[in-house]
């Protein structure tokens, strides 16, 4: 059976790339993810006026899991895995779906937006360092300088706005939880690549969402029971649908595809674009203003990503 599954998975790798992502460059797809995640911030924030955070999270992951399963089945993807693969896949799912989302949502509820964004900006640097010491992708000079420059730019984008970066006592627990989400995402980005080499990005994404959503629903059950579902209007449900379909289903497929194609270090560096898009979204649609420090920070982020992506080995 295992040999049959391995042959099937090899065919799935080809099928997924050929019909879903192969016609587009990895860089273009990752920029699409940046756009989705950057605009998703404002959409989620607006949706929280009608949803509790955990109830909203549960709805979007239920939606994304069903959608991903439908896509996989419609393309003939065999979702079976061997007994030896159940524990690793379940562990990865618990890490980057269950724990990451719980830490992320609960962290934001207990700290400032500026603190949360600044801590999350450490993800590419953590991925690069973890890969280097784990014996994966070696950290070269352009990667290190690019990550540092992008991180510096993130500080300018965040600290240059109305929200000031601070580490006061009232925010400590929220900061710790947010740091936990960064560690979970960074660990997944490093640990998932061996499995991505065996599975198609679509198959791994579907299985991860299903395995990770189940324990998250158990954690979110009290919030779902307390949620006033009848008070949610069309815009609230639209926000949940956008977040579930694009921010999770589509973006996670692309993220895993990018891990397989360009590696963890170069994939993670694109996450520095997200706060820049979020700021621009606020300027264009929420009548917010960018300071000179934020503009300089955005330039540093872009320069850092270009440098980290530069092929100088």
pLDDT band at 132 (very low <50, low <70, confident <90, very high): low
Measured between alpha carbons, how far is 175 from 169 in angstroms, rounded to an integer? Answer: 10
The structural domains of the chain, with segments of one domain joined by +, span 2-9+24-309
- Residue 42 has a pLDDT of 79
pLDDT band at 169 (very low <50, low <70, confident <90, very high): low
Q: What is the pLDDT of residues 259-287, one digit of tens each?
A: 878 877 678 778 777 777 877 776 777 67
Measured between alpha carbons, how far is 100 from 292 in angstroms, rounded to an integer? Answer: 33
Other beta carbons within 10 angstroms of residue 245's beta carbon come to 17
Nearest by Cα to 196 from 264, 102, 280: 264
pLDDT surpassing 70 at residue 4: no
pLDDT surpassing 60 at residue 43: yes
Average pLDDT over every residue of 215-230: 95
pLDDT surpassing 60 at residue 160: yes
pLDDT surpassing 50 at residue 17: no
Q: What is the pLDDT of residues 229-248, one digit of tens each?
A: 999 999 999 999 999 999 98
Average pLDDT over every residue of 51-58: 92
pLDDT surpassing 50 at residue 11: no
- Residue 289 has a pLDDT of 67
pLDDT surpassing 80 at residue 250: yes
Measured between alpha carbons, how far is 166 from 111 in angstroms, rounded to an integer? Answer: 10
- Residue 312 has a pLDDT of 38
Average pLDDT over every residue of 190-199: 74
pLDDT surpassing 70 at residue 5: no
pTM: 0.73
Nearest by Cα to 253 from 198, 195, 202: 202
What the block records as the tokens of 282 is 């606020």
């Amino acid at each position: 059976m295992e040999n049959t599954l391995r042959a099937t998975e090899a065919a799935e790798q080809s099928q997924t790339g050929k019909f879903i992502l192969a016609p587009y460059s990895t860089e273009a797809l990752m920029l699409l993810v940046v756009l989705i995640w950057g605009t998703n911030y404002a959409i989620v924030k607006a949706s929280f006026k009608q949803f509790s955070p955990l109830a909203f999270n549960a709805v979007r992951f239920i939606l994304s899991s069903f959608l991903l399963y439908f896509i996989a089945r419609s393309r003939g993807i065999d979702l079976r895995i061997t007994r030896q693969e159940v524990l690793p896949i379940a562990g990865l799912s618990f890490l980057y779906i269950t724990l990451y989302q719980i830490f992320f949502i609960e962290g934001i509820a207990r700290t400032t937006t500026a603190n949360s964004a600044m801590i999350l900006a450490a993800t590419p640097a953590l991925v690069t360092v973890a890969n280097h010491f784990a014996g994966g992708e070696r950290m070269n000079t352009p990667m290190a300088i690019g990550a540092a420059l992008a991180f510096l730019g993130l500080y300018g984008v965040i600290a240059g706005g109305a929200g000031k970066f601070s580490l006061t006592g009232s925010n400590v627990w929220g900061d710790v939880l947010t740091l936990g989400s960064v560690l979970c995402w960074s660990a997944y980005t490093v640990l998932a690549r061996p499995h991505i080499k065996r599975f198609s990005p679509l198959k791994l994404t579907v299985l991860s969402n299903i395995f990770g959503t189940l324990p998250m629903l158990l954690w979110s059950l009290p919030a779902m029971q307390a949620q006033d579902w009848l008070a949610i209007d069309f815009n609230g449900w639209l926000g949940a649908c956008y977040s579930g379909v694009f921010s999770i289903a589509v973006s996670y497929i692309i993220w895993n595809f990018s891990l397989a194609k360009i590696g963890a270090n170069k994939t993670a560096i694109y996450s520095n674009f997200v706060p820049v898009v979020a700021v621009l979204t606020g300027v264009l649609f929420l009548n917010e203003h960018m300071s000179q420090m934020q503009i300089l920070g955005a330039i540093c982020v872009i320069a850092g990503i270009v440098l980290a992506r530069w092929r100088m080995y």
